[in-house]
Amino acid sequence: MQYRTLGRTGVQVSALALGAMNFGAIGRTTQDEATAIVDAALEGGINLIDTADMYGQGESEEMVGKAIAGRRDDIVLATKAYMPMGDERNRRGTSRRWLVTALDESLRRLGVDHVDLYQMHRWDPATSDEETLSALTDLRRAGKIRYFGSSTFPAYRVVQAQWAAREHRLGRYVTEQPSYSILQRGIEADVLPVTAEYGLGVLAWSPLASGWLSGAVRRGREVGTHRSSVLPERFDLAVPANRARMDAVEALAKVADEAGLTMIQLALGFVTAHPAVTSALVGPRTLDHLHAQLAAADTVLPADVLDAIDAIVAPGVDLAAHEKFDTPPALLDPALRRR
């Protein structure tokens, strides 16, 4: 396992990190299975575990808490807030009112007295940066969090938050967690240059592109992945973007074969090769999934392989731009771009 410094924090984290979104009902993973995955991940050198309050409406946090009981100090523990946690209108967002409550509830579910990294799951257009950063700074001073970060923020919002922290003399986000894979490279054009400029650690989620790069999705083969059963529209070849992804996957499979790599090694090796990326988040549902991903822990792609990837999917290109989660609101809501 390789280890990198998380931004400018001085904290050393593994190049592969364990994402716990699939723990519980979302991934049909039991507590025993989740604990076995955590055991194997730690044994394989992973030391960062990432979850969120909204994964299974708290179920993932509870399962992570049970799995890490007795070894909390060996783990860099991260969770998130922002997404709705129930029907009540104020149990969501990044207001001080909600974050203070949300963090206490996350700590209770995790069975710990602090988290190492508390991330805002999305940018909240209803709340000012000053409001959110002030609350997070106070929670850090109270010892309930060590650092805080953002997740899936548009590049300009990453910049705005850094400026707000400086202007109001508040703590700043020290990490960003964006979606990044060979098939979704848009952040190379904006987010990654910004995180590098401000010295943010980057925890890349979906490096296997929702299973497209797992090796299980190939032309002429029935797609039987868990994600395809949950989100079939993302694998429907009647959709032009999905046809483009399939063409890319077939070409990438040839590159992997010629290099003596699995598709997973190619995909994870690509993400961790970017100098702005700290860790790639893997989200296994089974031990077999994790072992296949751990096999990529020391993968270093040579220049000719990276060149071949660039020739298939150009730098800065998203093959499925409509699936992005950091699209500026004005591109989604016509009222925001009309007088």
d(CA 328, CA 17): 28
Q: What are phi and psi of 151, to 5 degrees?
A: -145, 125
Could you give the residue numbers annotated as active site? 55
Residue 134 pLDDT more than 90? yes
Per the rule left: phi > 0, alpha: psi between -120 and 50, beta: everything else, 199 is: left
* Lowest-pLDDT choice from 116-125, 162-171, 211-220, 277-286: 211-220
d(CA 20, CA 74): 17
Looking at residue 61, its amino acid is: E
SS3 265: helix
Listed residue (201, 186, 118, 198) closest to 157, CA to CA: 198
d(CA 40, CA 288): 10
pLDDT band at 146 (very low <50, low <70, confident <90, very high): very high
d(CA 184, CA 165): 30
| pLDDT tens-digit series, residues 102-130 | 999 999 999 999 999 999 999 999 999 99
Q: Where are the beta strands (DSSP E) in 161-300?
A: 175-177, 201-204, 279-282
The pLDDT of residue 88: 96
Question: Average pLDDT in the 2-31 region?
Answer: 96
pLDDT band at 230 (very low <50, low <70, confident <90, very high): confident
Distances in Å between the alpha carbon of 158 and those of 16, 115, 208, 223? Answer: 23, 22, 24, 36
Residue 227 pLDDT more than 80? no
Q: What are phi and psi of 264, to 5 degrees?
A: -65, -40
Residue 325 pLDDT more than 90? no
Cβ neighbours around 101 below 10 Å, total:
15
In this structure, are residues 266 and 215 in contact, taking their beta carbons and an 8 Å threshold? Answer: no
Percent with pLDDT over 70 in the chain = 99
- Those residues whose C-beta lies under 8 Å from the C-beta of residue 231, and which sit 6 or more positions away, are 210
The pLDDT of residue 330: 81
Residue 226 pLDDT more than 80? no
In this structure, are residues 160 and 124 in contact, taking their beta carbons and an 8 Å threshold? Answer: no
Question: Average pLDDT in the 77-106 region?
Answer: 97
Largest CA distance in the chain: 58
The pLDDT of residue 333: 83
d(CA 18, CA 51): 9
* Lowest-pLDDT choice from 22-26, 150-154, 300-304: 22-26
Residue 24 pLDDT more than 80? yes
| pLDDT tens-digit series, residues 282-315 | 999 999 999 999 999 999 999 999 999 999 999 9
Which sign, positive or negative, has the C-alpha torsion 122, 214, 240, 238? negative
